[in-house]
Amino acid sequence: QKEVEQNSGPLSVPEGAIASLNCTYSDRVSQSFFWYRQYSGKSPELIMSIYSNGDKEDGRFTAQLNKASQYVSLLIRDSQPSDSATYLCAVVGAGGTSYGKLTFGQGTILTVHP
């Protein structure tokens, strides 16, 4: 089982719709979770961090965390063509050999079409 798994997509949504990106992780004791966005030809940049169960909202972005289910998601409301990018889920390991390592999922390619 991969440490961090994402649906690779691609995910295509119309402009104005809600894009839903999902991620599961294997380290049951992980406490820190992140979403990075990577535009084509560019480096990843942090867009959201979440540490507690529940929802965290930042503008059009909402991160959701369920530690019991080992599940993290990112919702993008009112999707815009400028949101078209690869979204990377990242988890900081908290146990064993994964301690302190920031592990990324494969990424989900999102395309928002006008």
Q: Is 34 in the site for other proteins (CB under 8 A)?
A: yes
**Residue 85 CB, nearest distance to other proteins (Å)?**
14
Q: Which of 43, 69, 82, 114 binds other proteins (CB under 8 A)?
A: 43
Q: Which of 10, 14, 15, 32 binds other proteins (CB under 8 A)?
A: 32
Q: What's the 3-state SS for the chain? A: CCCEEECCCCEEEECCCCEEEEEEECCCCCCEEEEEEECCCCCCEEEEEECCCEEEEECCEEEEEECCCCEEEEEECCCCHHHCEEEEEEEECCCHHHCCCEEECCCEEEEEEC
Binding site for other proteins (CB under 8 A): 32, 34, 42-46, 49, 88, 90, 92, 94, 99-107
